[in-house]
Amino acid sequence: MDKISKALQKLSAQEQRKLKDILTNINRGDFNELDLKKLKARKDIFRVRAGKMRIIFYKKESSIKILSIERRSDKTYR
């Protein structure tokens, strides 16, 4: 089981549905309704905020790779 699947299993059913919808939008490239922000040090790594959850992903040309799904804490962006 990969890191993303483990992170999703730790969440409530409501949080899982919300994050799956967000991941679907990211996969389609539909960023209009998302709280999207580029991370400072990198030009190709972004974060999406969904309440206390953060989805950090890498975007280059047409490929997108989810790097992390975590609850917001001091360690989230390190």
Contact 49, 58 (CB under 8 A): no
CATH architecture of 3-71: 2-Layer Sandwich (3.30)
Q: pLDDT by residue (tens digit) across 13-34?
A: 888 888 889 888 888 888 888 8
pLDDT at 78: 65
76 pLDDT more than 70: no
Looking at the DSSP bridge assignments, the partners of residue 48 are 36, 55
Higher pLDDT among residues 35 and 75, named by residue = 35
Q: Rounded to two decimals, what is the model's pTM?
A: 0.76
Q: What angle do CA 70, 57, 12 make, to 5 degrees?
A: 30
User: Which tokens go with 13?
Assistant: 């059913």
Q: Where are the domains of the chain?
A: 3-71
Question: Could you give the 3-state DSSP secondary structure of residue 43?
Answer: coil
Q: Average the pLDDT over each of 2-11, 18-27, 40-49 and give the range with the smallest value.
A: 2-11
